[in-house]
Amino acid sequence: MRRLLAALAAIVGVLPSASPAATALSPQAAPASWVAYAGLVNQTIIDQLGGSDPAAVRLRNYLDQLPHPMADSRAQLPIRVWIDGQGVINKVDFTPFAHPEPNADLRALLLGQRLAKAPPRDMLLPLRLSIGLEPAPATEAPSPGRSPGGAVSRTSGFR
């Protein structure tokens, strides 16, 4: 568990949501509870995006149609996530896709999603994540680190 927290902490930065011009705290300054919570949120999002919900399947199919500079590259989804005091995702912000349907699908998958627990009381939001998305080939079993639907984690931190 310490190794996981250390790996996540190495890429975490924190910014108060009230001040977009504020500078990020160093990853080492982020409390371990925040880093652990970021992992929980990250996994929940990966599970949602990799699930069998029609919106998740449409989103992955859309991403599969996007050109990738290299055959082994993944679409990266930088996303900012706000979570209320009860642990419900109540706002997400991301660079919109070119078409409206995947934007609506992503919001439908995440907004209102109840997390296993509420964020730490003093945690600064939004949480910033970068999720690597890769549709799973229909004939291939999921590889380690990838959910059955093809979403993989690349946590960039929280701000």
Instruction: Let me know if residue 117 belongs to a domain.
Output: yes
Please, how many CA atoms are within 13 Å of residue 44, restricted to the half-sphere of its CB? 21
**Residue 18 belongs to a domain:** no
* 1 domain residue, yes or no: no
pLDDT digits (tens, 9 = 90+) for 142-157: 444 444 444 444 444 4
Task: Locate 12 and state its tokens.
Answer: 């975490």
Structural domain count, the chain: 1
Q: How far is CA 20 from CA 30, 126, 159, in A?
A: 18, 10, 9
Give residue for tokens 């979570």.
Answer: 83
Structural domain harbouring 63: 31-154
Let me know if residue 97 belongs to a domain. Answer: yes
Does residue 66 fall inside a structural domain?
yes
User: Is residue 37, in this structure, part of any structural domain at all?
Assistant: yes
Is 17 within a domain?
A: no
**CA-to-CA dists, residue 77 to 93, 106, 107, 150, angstroms:** 11, 10, 13, 13
Q: What would the pLDDT profile of 106-151 be if each residue is shown by its tens digit? A: 999 999 999 999 999 889 899 888 887 654 454 444 444 444 444 4
Domain membership of residue 23 (yes or no) is no
Q: Is pTM, for the whole model, over 0.75?
A: no
Please give the backbone phi and psi of residue 55, each rounded to the nearest 5 degrees, phi first: -65, -40
